[in-house]
Structure 1
Amino acid sequence: MMEKGAVFPLFYLPPIEYFSNLLIHKENILFENAENFQKQSYRNRATIHSPNGKLDLIVPVIKGSKSHTKVKDVRISYDFQWQRMHLMSLQTSYRSSAYFEYYEDDLSIFFEKKWNFLFDYNEEVMSLILRFLKLNIQFKYTETFEKSYQDLTDFRDIIHPKHNSLIHFKPYFQVFEERNGFFPNLSIVDLLFNQGPQSIKYL
């Protein structure tokens, strides 16, 4: 059966299952830009494998009208130095991984430059990761918010920190696996830092 396509939200350093699904639907992808912002979702958080276990990296957003802010209007807060903290967490967690240095320079701009809007930030993070993966996808953006789609698979609520992934993940080497065990479906950077150019084969 031919895949008809899918609609995805834009996430910050999305989890591995996000890219596995992008790959399946890569001929016809819609990125959601008309939805309301969802708190406690991957839209502003990523999970990595730190020396002490799973660690959530959260991009703080400026408190506005609680849940009815359009995702494109959500502003990033710089009240504390979260960029420095995220970069240090990534360095502590992955400096000894096989490919960290290979990607570090390109990624570091996201922890130095300031973006006003979360959506723009996520959009540029996404474009860099697609480049890392050498993944060419055909995508457009939604123009209006649709509650549901007839002929597109809808990943806007499926891929969520509180939901278990429907995909079974084969283990791959992780830096602190001996200490903490293997964690499936972490942020794509976990896969990239550990597997490098082989990441796309894993997906």
Structure 2
Amino acid sequence: MSIIVHPTYFPSIAHYVAMANTDEVCFETDDNFLKQTYRNRCYIYGANGKMGLNIPVIHSQKNRQKYKDVKIFNDDNWQSNHWKSLLSAYRTSPFFEYYEDDLKPLFHEKADYILDFNFKCLEVINACLQLEVKASKTRQYNKDIVDKTDFRFLVHAKKEVNQAFEKYTQVFSNKHGYISNLSILDLLFNEGPNSLNYLESQTISSD
């Protein structure tokens, strides 16, 4: 089986369940950039509950702009702010220190294009998970996909995923309960080397 998904900012667990349970991943890179999606945001578990991390982007004056052409707005020090948020949320988690050195450079090296940066994040996360992905990229946008299972709907941050994934221990669950389908970072920092086993044991539907 092969799937098609969007490359997003530290993808959701649903994204990674789909990616961990397929033979080949095709990344959609020829679509238009849309607001309110995981293209430039992810959700983590902070001390006050679910917390969004948003990468600011430079919007074109045109009505439509290709995802691959969207530049990051670097004037407001977002990388430093995101890293501080991750430290605050996960420094007491079981495996934060285990992966800290792998992730830290992503927040200290300037990034210009959101799509390129997301691919860098995916590369680092895949290495941390020890997930080998046979990957390709689209060459043109097709609304209807016939030869792959279409998981591009997972890019929409405002739509909840219907699947109920197995619970795992989270840092602040005693305060706010279990929060499902956060960024893969939440799983990685809490489950460490067991994360890939977890992902492979979950199921997700394309419906």
Is the structural similarity TM-score above 0.5?
A: yes
Pairs within 5 Å for 1:1-203: 3=1, 5-25=2-22, 27-65=23-61, 67-203=63-199
Unaligned stretches of 5+ residues in structure 1: none
Amino acid at match of 1:71: Y
User: What root-mean-square deviation, in Å, do the aligned CA atoms of Structure 1 and Structure 2 show?
Assistant: 1.1
Task: Give, in whole Å, the separation in 1 of the partners of 2:133 and 2:5.
Answer: 13
Flag structure 2 segments of 5+ consecutive residues without an equivalent.
Answer: 200-207
Seq. identity, %:
40
Indicate conservation of the 8 Å contact 2:15/2:154, yes or no: no
Name the TM-score, length of structure 1 as normaliser: 0.94
What is the aligned length? 199
TM-score (norm 2): 0.93
Deviation track 1:96-128 (CA, whole Å, cap 9, x = no partner) reads 000001111111111111111011100010011
**Greater shift after overlay, 157-166 or 33-42?**
157-166
Name whichever of 30-39 and 93-102 sits farther off. Answer: 30-39
Moved over 3 A (4+): none
Amino acid at match of 2:79: Q
